[in-house]
Structure 1
Amino acid sequence: MIEKRALKTLEFDKVRLQVAGFCTSSIGKIAIEELVPETELNTVIDLLEEMDEGLSILRVKGNVPMGGIFDIRPHAKRAQIGGMLSPMELMEISSTIRASRILRNFIEDIEAEEAIEIPHFIDRKEQLPVLTPLQHEINDCIDENGGVLDSASTALRSIRQSLRAEEAKVRQKLESLIRGSNAAKMLSDAIITIRNDRFVIPVKQEYRGHYGGIVHDQSSSGQTLFIEPDAVVQANNEVQRLKVKEQAEIERILLELSVKVQEVAHDLFVLVGLLGEIDVILAKAKYGQANKCTMPKMNNEGYTRLVRARHPLLSIEEAVPNTIEFGREITAIVITGPNTGGKTVTLKTVGLCTLMAQAGLPVPALDGSELAVFQQIFADIGDEQSIEQSLSTFSSHMVNIVDILAKFDEGSLVLFDELGAGTDPQEGAALAISILDEVVGRGARVMATTHYPELKAYGYNRPSVVNASVEFDVETLSPTYRLLIGVPGRSNAFEISKRLGLSSSIIDQAKSFTGTDRHEVESMIASLEESRLRSEKEADEAHALLQEAQALRAGLEERLRAYEDKKEQLEKKAKDKARKIVDEAKRESEKIIAELREMRKNASQAVKEHELIDAKKRLDEAAPKENKVLQKAVAQRERAQNLKVGDEVKVLSYGQKGTILEKVSAHEWVVGIGILKMKLEESDLQYIKPEKEPVTRTMANVKNRNSHVKLELDLRGERYEDALLRTEKYLDDALLANYPRVSIIHGKGTGALRQGIQSFLKGHKRVKSFRYGEAGEGGFGVTVVELK
C-alpha cells in the first residue's frame, strides 16, 4: 500500500474531494473518501476498465439513474439485533431497493442494445439481490413521507375510523361552547386548540369557573386559561385511549416489517455495497468527463509517458500541458532552473497522475499516455520545517530523505524537490549528486528539481539520466511553465537585470567575475534552448500539415466511399428496373405463345409448331437487356465487316430485327423494321451474321432459305409489272421455306396494285386462299395468303 505521507504531500486528498462531488449517494462519497491507490497491475487495469465503461455509458446515455439511494446499512444492522425501525427508515430501505431495480433495468437495456460492451457493469447487475417483495410490503404500509397508511392493517383502519369519529364529537361539543351567547365575553378567542394532546378552549381568568373542567395551561400574562371543559373530558379520554391503541398497532406493524428486514439484512448489505461501487465508478467517469481526462495504458515496467499532461488541481485554463517520458533507457529526470518556474508543479503532476491512475481514476492527459504501477511512491516536496522538533528546512528534508533511502527499491517512484537545498550550495550540490547516484543506482524511477548549477552537467555524465528545465520568457520576465526535456536550466539573472534597467557596465563587470567555463556553459545552454524552440516550432508546423493532409485524405476517402456506394445503388436500381422490364416482356411472350397455341387448336392445322417456336424466338430477342450501352459496345466489337445495304441488323434501342435499306451518311442508315422505315445511328445497330443454310434431305440441290425469307413482302411504291415479278418469286421462296402463311403489303392507294396482286393470286396453283388483313395486321393495305 502506498504510504499516507506521499498521499498527503502530493495532495491526493484534494483530488478525492473533487471526485466525491460527483457522487449521487452518501455511500459513494464515503467510499471515495477511503479510496487509495492499488499496487497490483491487474487490479489497477480492472479499475480503469470499469471507469472507462462508465465513460462509455455517459457518452451514449448522457446519465445513469442513481437517485433514491440511501445508506441503509445502520438500519439493517439494527434490524439484525431485533430493533424496531422507524417508518422513515423503512421508507429509505424501500427507496434503495427501488433504485437498485431501476438501475438493473437500465443496465439490461444497454445489454440488449449491444451498442457498447460493459462486462463489469453487467457482472455487478447480476450480483444485485432482488428484494422487490420487501419493497412492495413496505410500500403497502408506509407512504413516501414516512407515515403509516390506514391500509397497513384492518385493525389500524378500524382504530383510526373510531378515533376520527371521537375527535369529531369533541370538536362538535367545543364548537357549540365557543358559539354560545356569552362565549364572546368569556373566551379570549373563539378557537379550539390542543394542550397536552387534549382539545381545550381559551377562557378568560375571571370566567374559569363557568365552564368547569381541567386547566392544562395559561398564557404568559396569566389572563387566559386553556381549559378542558367537563363536557368533553370523557370524550377526550376516549380519544386518548384510541391514540394509545393506534400507537400500539403501529408499533406492531413496524416490528413485523423490521423482522422482514432482518431476514434479508445480509442481502441489503450486499445491495448497498454494489450500489456504492457503481456510484464510485460513475463518479470517476463524471470527473474524467468534466476535466477532459483519459484512461492511460498501464505497465509493470516503470515506464511513464504523459502526453500533454496537466496538474489535476489546476483549472484547464490555467494549467500548461507538458509531455513527460522516462522509465526505460532514461530512469531519472533532473529539472534545473530558477525558483517559481514551475518545477514543483511538474513534479507533482507526475506523482499525482500516477496515484490517480493506480486508484482507477482517469488522468488529465491526452490519449496515448502510459503510466507504471509502482509499489511505493516517495515524495520530499515543499518546506516542511518543524518548529516543534527545532529542525531547520535542511534538517527536515534530510529526515525525509533518510527515511526514503531506507525504504525505496526498484519498484518505487521517488520525487525530490529542491534536493540539497537549505545548506551551503557547494555541499548541498555534492549531497544531491550523491543521493541521486544512490537512488538511480538501485533501479528506482526518479524525478528531482534543483537550482544548483553544478547539477546541470549531471545528466551529461550518466547515460540513464536526462536534464530538463522549465522555460523562462526574458521578454515578459515570467516563466512559461513549459518543460524542456534534454535542456538544462540556465540563470537569467543578467538578462532580467538588464530588462529591469540595471547599468550595462555593472552587468559586464559581474560577468567578468564568473568563470570562462561558466560563461561557455551558459552560452551552450542558450544555444540548445534556441535550437529546441526552433525544432519544436518546426515540429508543430509539420504536425499541423500532417493533420491537414490526414483530414484531406479522410475527406477524399469519404467522398470516394460515398461515390462507390451511390454508384452501386444506381447500378442495382438500374439492374432491378431492367430485370422487371425483361420479366414483363417474357410474361408477354408467354401470353402470345399461349394465344397462338389456342389459335392452332381453333384453326386445326392453320398454325404450325415451328411458327410458334419462331414467334417465341422473336419475342425473346425483343426483350430489353439490362445495359444498352454495353450492348452497343459489344455490337461494335462483334461487327466483322462494314455495314452495307441488305444486311440484317438488330436495332438495340428497340430490340427488333431489321434490314438496311439505304445509307444516309457516314454514320446513319435507313432501316426497315417490318412495314416501318427508320433513320438510325450506326451505333444503334448490331450486325447479325446469316446462319448457314443446311441442305435438306429430300431436295439435295435446293437450299432452304428459311433464314432469308421474311413472312411479309412489301410492294409499296413498286410498278405493277415489277410487283407481279417480285410476288411470284416471293411465293416460290415462301413455299421452299415451307411457310403456311405470308403477308403481301401493297398499300391502299387507288387499289389498282391490290386488285392486280389478288388477280395473280387467284390463278396461282399453290395458293390455297387469301384475305385482307385484320385491323392489327394492316387492314385493306395487306393481303394474307394461305399456301398449300
Structure 2
Amino acid sequence: MNKKIFETLEYQKVKDKLKPYLASQSGRQELTNLTPMVAHEQIQFALTETLDGADAYRLKGGIPIAKLDNIGPQMKRLEIGATLSGLELSQVTKMLRSTQDVINFFQKLQEEKIEFHTLYDTVKKLQALPEISKRLIKSIEGDGHITSEASDKLFGIRSRITTTETSIRAKMDSYTRGKDAKYLSESIITMRDGRYVIPVMAQYRSHFGGVVHDQSASGQTMYIEPAAVMDLNNQLRQNQVEEKNEEERILAELSELLAPYREDLLNNAAVLGHLDFINAKARYAAEIKGTEPTISAENHVHFRNARHPLIDPKKIVPNDIDLGTDYKALIITGPNTGGKTITLKTFGLLQLMAQSGLFIPVAEHSQMGIFTEIFADIGDEQSIEQNLSTFSSHMDNIVQILAQIDEHSLVLFDELGGGTDPKEGAALAIAILDRVGSAGSYVLATTHYPELKAYGYNRPETMNASMEFDTESLKPTYKLLVGIPGSSNAFDIAKRLGLESGVIMQARSLMDQDSQDLSAMIKDLSTRQKEAADRADKLKIEVAESETLHKDLTNEYQKLLNSKDQYLEKAKQQANDLVDNAEEKADKIIKKLRKMEMQGGAGIKENQLINSKSGLNALHQAPSLKKNRVLRRVKAKQELKVNDDVMVTSYGQRGSLLRQMDKKHWEVQMGILKMKVPTDELEKIAPDKNESAGNRTTIRRTSSAVKTTLDLRGKRYEEAMTEVDRYIDSALLAGYPMVTIVHGKGTGALRKGITQYLQGNRQVKHFEYAAPNVGGNGATVVHFK
C-alpha cells in the first residue's frame, strides 16, 4: 500500500504500541517489516496466529520468550571460520536455552490437551540441539565468562593460579602488617603491569630489593615488587598466559562445534522471533480489548462498537460502521468537532490493522473486508514551500487518488470540496463521488454541503449518515446515525443562546422553501431515529431480563423435578422396607396360629386370639406425628436462628450465626473469620457461660483434618488458587503458626499468583521460600500473625 496512508491514519503509532511487548531482536525486526496484507489466506493465517497467542496469554500468561539478541552477525563470522568471543557464544547459548524452554512449554500444553490452530506446527520447526546446548551451558556463563568446567586443563590452571595468588598475598601481607609496614606509604597491596606490588616510600626503595614498576606523580612513592615474591609473580604470569591460551582454544573449539548448525540456529532465532511477535500481538489485543474480525470475501465491512485504538476508551464513543453490504458510499454530515473525522480515521485504521493480522477494538462478530489500496484526503495539507493553498493541495492529492483507484480500493474524503465557493465546491464533490463510484471503489466522505444530503438519497449504493447533536445541551454526542443526514442546528443554537426571535425569524425567511422543508424533514427523522433507538434499548434490557428470569425458572423447575424423583424413590424404598417388615411379622403370627390349630385348637385361649389380632393390627402404619406437641417442641429447639451458638462440624469450631444466606447456607462468625457454611454442617449448641453476649471469642482447636503442608503440584492455576484460599482459612481456624505451600517451579505463574494472594491477606505476617534442601523456590513457607 501507499506509505502516505500510514502517516495519515497513524499506523506507525499502532506498531509502536507493540514494541514494549517484544523481547527479541528478531521479533522487533518482524514488527518493523509489518504491513497490511492483501491475500485472504495470509490475513486469515495471521489472525489465527494472534488468536492462538491470545489463548496462550489468557491461559498461561504468554509464551516464555527470553530477551534475545540478533545472532545473524555471529553466524556470518562462523561461515568464514572466525572464532566467536565469550559474549557472542553466550548470546547463542541464551537462544538455545530459550528454544528448549519454549519446546518444554508447548509439550506441557499438549499434555494438558490445550488446542491451538497454528502454534504447535510452528514450534515443530525448532531444533533443540541438546548436546550442543549442554556443552555451551557448561562452558559459558551469561556474561560471556568461560567457566572452569569448560575443560579439565583450564580447571587445573585456575587452581594453580588461585594457589599462587594466595601465596603471594600471604607474603605481601607480612610486609603490610609486620615490622616492615613503617617503610610503606600505605599498608595496601596493589598491582602494576599485572604483578603484585607494594607502595614504598622513596627513601626506603632499596629496603625490599626487587623491581620498581611505577612511581607516584610526586615521586615520593615507589611501587616495588619485592625480590621475595618475584618468582611467585613470574609463576603467576606464566599460569595466566596458559589460562588465556586455553580459553582461546576452548572458544575456537566451541565455535567449530557450532559452525555446522548455522542454518538451524538462524532458523531457531527466526521462529522464536515470530513467537515473540505473536506474543506481542496477543498482549496488545488484551490491552485494547480487541477481537478477531471475520473476513468478508465480498468486502462487506461491519464494525460493531468500533473504537479508535489510540484514544482513551473512557473518552471515545463506540459506533457501528457498515460499508459494502447495502451501500458502497457513506456520506457523513454533522457539526464541526462532532466526530466525523475520527469516524473516518477509525474505519481506515481498523481496516489497516485487521489486514495486518492484528485484533481490532470492536465487538464480537464484526466483519472486515480486504482492500488492495486505501487512500485518504484528510486534514489541512496547505504547503507554503510549494505555494499551494488548502484547496489546491487537496485537489492535487485527489487527482493522484483518482488516477489509482479501482474496485478493490477504499477512499476516505474529509470535508470533500471544502476550501472554495460553496456551490462550486458542492458540485465538484458530487462529481468526484460519481467518479469514485464509476470505478467501483468504496468511499467514506464527510461534508458540510446540503447538496450532498440529497445526493445520498438519489444515488444508488449510497447512504447518508450524520453525527448526532444534542440541541438541549448544545453538545455533540459523537454517535453515528446511519440513514439520516445531519441537520443544521444554527437557528436552534442561536435561539438557546439568547439571540432575538425577530432576527431568527428574518434569517429563516431568507432561506428558500426547499431548504426549510429539508431541514424540517431531517429534524423529524432525527427525532424518530432517537425515539426508535431508545425503544430498542429499552426492549433489549427487558428481553435480557425476561431471558434471565426464564432461565432461572427453568433451572428451579428442573431442580424441583429432580427433587420430586428423589423423594419418590426414597418413599418407595421406605414403603418396601415397611411391607417387608410387616410381611415378616405377619408370617410369624400366622405360623404360631397354625401351630396352635395343629395341636387341636382346644388349647387356644381367648387371650391368645386377642394378642394375635393385636399383633396383626399393629402392622398398620401409625398416624402422622406432625401434630405431636412434644415432637414439635423438640424440633423447634433445634431450629437455627440469628445469634445462635453452633458447632461447625467440618472444622470442629464454635461459631455464631450472622444471617441466613439461602435455604441451605448460613453466614457464620468464627473468631475473626466470616464463612459461608452449609446448614447440614451446623449443630446448635448451648452458649458458653464464660463468654459475654457482646464479646464472644472462638477457641481454636487443632484439627487433624488440616495438614501443615498443601501440595499443589500438577493442578491447574484456577483450581490451585481456589484451594489455597480455602486452605489458608482452614489453617487459621486450626491455629497453626505457619504452613508450607508446595507449588513447584514450572513456569512461575502459580508461584507468582500465590505470592500476590499472600501479599493481600491481612492474616499473613510474612512468607519466604523454603530452604534449598526442602524445595527451595518450589515451596513457600507462610507465617501467620
Q: Would the TM-score normalized by the shorter structure come out above 0.5?
A: yes
Instruction: Specify the alignment match of 1:146 in structure 2.
Output: 144
Task: Indicate which of 545, 552, 562 corresponds to 2:542.
Answer: 545
Instruction: Specify the alignment match of 1:520 in structure 2.
Output: 517
Specify the SS of the correspondent of 1:74: helix
Specify the SS of the correspondent of 2:429: helix
TM-score (normalizing by structure 1): 0.72
Distance 2:76 2:429 in 1: 56
- Go from structure 1 to structure 2 and tell me whether the alpha carbon gap of 1:105 and 1:534 turns closer, same or farther (over 3 Å shift): same
Instruction: Specify the alignment match of 1:340 in structure 2.
Output: 337
Instruction: Specify the alignment match of 1:583 in structure 2.
Output: none
- Go from structure 1 to structure 2 and tell me whether the alpha carbon gap of 1:214 and 1:711 turns closer, same or farther (over 3 Å shift): closer
Is 2:317 the partner of 1:391? Answer: no
- What's the CA shift for 1:225? 3.2
- What's the CA shift for 1:361? 0.8
Is 2:355 the partner of 1:361? Answer: no
- The structure whose Rg is larger is 1
Equivalences for residues 131-210 of structure 1 within 5 A: 131-184=129-182, 186-210=183-207
- Go from structure 1 to structure 2 and tell me whether the alpha carbon gap of 1:567 and 1:744 turns closer, same or farther (over 3 Å shift): same
Specify the SS of the correspondent of 2:484: coil
2:48–2:117 CA contact under 8 A, matched in 1: no
- Go from structure 1 to structure 2 and tell me whether the alpha carbon gap of 1:509 and 1:290 turns closer, same or farther (over 3 Å shift): same
Equivalences for residues 225-624 of structure 1 within 5 A: 225-562=222-559
- What's the CA shift for 1:442? 1.9
Is 2:97 the partner of 1:98? Answer: yes
1:712–1:745 CA contact under 8 A, matched in 2: no
Instruction: Specify the alignment match of 2:58 in structure 1.
Output: 59
Distance 1:75 1:45 in 2: 35
Aligned-residue Cα RMSD (Å) equals 2.9
1:192–1:199 CA contact under 8 A, matched in 2: yes
Distance 2:6 2:136 in 1: 44
Specify the SS of the correspondent of 1:21: helix
- Go from structure 1 to structure 2 and tell me whether the alpha carbon gap of 1:156 and 1:656 turns closer, same or farther (over 3 Å shift): same
Distance 1:552 1:373 in 2: 43
Which residue type is aligned with residue 57 of structure 2?
L
- What's the CA shift for 1:541? 0.5
Specify the SS of the correspondent of 1:377: strand
- Go from structure 1 to structure 2 and tell me whether the alpha carbon gap of 1:217 and 1:480 turns closer, same or farther (over 3 Å shift): farther
Distance 2:397 2:25 in 1: 37
Distance 1:76 1:562 in 2: 68
- Go from structure 1 to structure 2 and tell me whether the alpha carbon gap of 1:175 and 1:501 turns closer, same or farther (over 3 Å shift): same
Which residue type is aligned with residue 545 of structure 1?
E
1:713–1:744 CA contact under 8 A, matched in 2: no
Which residue type is aligned with residue 515 of structure 1?
D
Deviating more after overlay: 440-449 vs 226-235: 226-235
Equivalences for residues 560-709 of structure 1 within 5 A: 560-562=557-559, 653-654=579-580, 673-674=586-587, 676=589
Distance 1:220 1:478 in 2: 79
Task: Indicate which of 124, 127, 152 corresponds to 2:125.
Answer: 127
Deviating more after overlay: 557-566 vs 145-154: 557-566
Specify the SS of the correspondent of 2:466: strand
- What's the CA shift for 1:188? 1.8
Specify the SS of the correspondent of 1:481: strand
1:66–1:99 CA contact under 8 A, matched in 2: yes
- What's the CA shift for 1:320? 0.6
Distance 1:750 1:523 in 2: 109
Instruction: Specify the alignment match of 1:642 in structure 2.
Output: none
- What's the CA shift for 1:252? 0.7
Q: Structure 2 unaligned runs (5+)?
A: 609-785
Deviating more after overlay: 344-353 vs 55-64: 55-64
2:63–2:275 CA contact under 8 A, matched in 1: no
Is 2:9 the partner of 1:10? Answer: yes
- What's the CA shift for 1:41? 1.0
Specify the SS of the correspondent of 1:147: coil
Count of aligned pairs: 610
Distance 1:456 1:205 in 2: 101
Deviating more after overlay: 537-546 vs 283-292: 283-292
2:323–2:330 CA contact under 8 A, matched in 1: yes
- What's the CA shift for 1:750? 11
1:711–1:743 CA contact under 8 A, matched in 2: no
Specify the SS of the correspondent of 1:167: helix
Distance 1:88 1:743 in 2: 117
- Go from structure 1 to structure 2 and tell me whether the alpha carbon gap of 1:750 and 1:509 turns closer, same or farther (over 3 Å shift): closer
Specify the SS of the correspondent of 2:580: coil
Distance 2:93 2:605 in 1: 101
2:62–2:279 CA contact under 8 A, matched in 1: no
Distance 1:223 1:747 in 2: 143
Distance 1:138 1:745 in 2: 111
Specify the SS of the correspondent of 1:216: strand
1:208–1:225 CA contact under 8 A, matched in 2: yes
- What's the CA shift for 1:523? 1.6
- What's the CA shift for 1:552? 2.1
Which residue type is aligned with residue 77 of structure 2?
R
- Go from structure 1 to structure 2 and tell me whether the alpha carbon gap of 1:748 and 1:525 turns closer, same or farther (over 3 Å shift): same
Distance 1:244 1:564 in 2: 90
Specify the SS of the correspondent of 2:172: helix
Distance 1:11 1:374 in 2: 18
2:304–2:364 CA contact under 8 A, matched in 1: yes
2:334–2:448 CA contact under 8 A, matched in 1: yes
Distance 2:98 2:564 in 1: 52
Distance 1:745 1:110 in 2: 89
- Go from structure 1 to structure 2 and tell me whether the alpha carbon gap of 1:543 and 1:176 turns closer, same or farther (over 3 Å shift): same
- What's the CA shift for 1:470? 0.9
Q: Structure 1 unaligned runs (5+)?
A: 579-625, 632-650, 659-671, 677-709, 717-726, 732-741, 752-788
- Go from structure 1 to structure 2 and tell me whether the alpha carbon gap of 1:78 and 1:302 turns closer, same or farther (over 3 Å shift): same
- Go from structure 1 to structure 2 and tell me whether the alpha carbon gap of 1:382 and 1:214 turns closer, same or farther (over 3 Å shift): farther
Which residue type is aligned with residue 673 of structure 1?
A
Is 2:38 the partner of 1:39? Answer: yes
- What's the CA shift for 1:463? 2.5
Specify the SS of the correspondent of 1:407: coil
Specify the SS of the correspondent of 2:241: helix
Instruction: Specify the alignment match of 1:20 in structure 2.
Output: 19
- Go from structure 1 to structure 2 and tell me whether the alpha carbon gap of 1:628 and 1:422 turns closer, same or farther (over 3 Å shift): same
Which residue type is aligned with residue 262 of structure 2?
A
Specify the SS of the correspondent of 2:127: coil
Distance 1:568 1:271 in 2: 62
Distance 2:150 2:60 in 1: 39
Specify the SS of the correspondent of 2:418: coil
- What's the CA shift for 1:673? 2.5
- Go from structure 1 to structure 2 and tell me whether the alpha carbon gap of 1:715 and 1:113 turns closer, same or farther (over 3 Å shift): closer
Deviating more after overlay: 375-384 vs 201-210: 201-210
- Go from structure 1 to structure 2 and tell me whether the alpha carbon gap of 1:118 and 1:9 turns closer, same or farther (over 3 Å shift): same
Distance 2:178 2:567 in 1: 97
- What's the CA shift for 1:511? 2.7
Which residue type is aligned with residue 175 of structure 2?
L
2:22–2:28 CA contact under 8 A, matched in 1: yes
- Go from structure 1 to structure 2 and tell me whether the alpha carbon gap of 1:652 and 1:430 turns closer, same or farther (over 3 Å shift): same
- What's the CA shift for 1:333? 0.4
2:184–2:199 CA contact under 8 A, matched in 1: yes
